[in-house]
Amino acid sequence: MGEQQQVRFPQEVIDEYAALGVDLPALFSAGHLGTRMGVQILEASAEKVVGTMPVEGNTQPYGLLHGGASAVLAETLGSVGSMLHGGSSKIAVGVDLNCTHHRGVRSGLVTGVATPVHRGRSTATYEIVISDEQGRRVCSARLTCLLRDVNKGDAAHVQGSGA
Active site residues: 75
Name, in order, each residue with C-beta under 8 angstroms of 40's C-beta and a sequence gap of 6 or more: 4, 5, 30, 51, 52, 53
The CA-based dihedral angle spanning residues 105, 110, 115, 120, taken in that order and rounded to the nearest 10 degrees:
80
| CA angle centred on 147, ends 145 and 150, rounded to 5° | 135
How far apart (Å, rounded) are the C-alpha atoms in residues 163 and 161? Answer: 5
- Whether residue 126 contacts residue 95, with contact meaning beta carbons closer than 8 Å, is answered with no
How far apart (Å, rounded) are the C-alpha atoms in residues 103 and 65? Answer: 9
How far apart (Å, rounded) are the C-alpha atoms in residues 104 and 77? Answer: 20
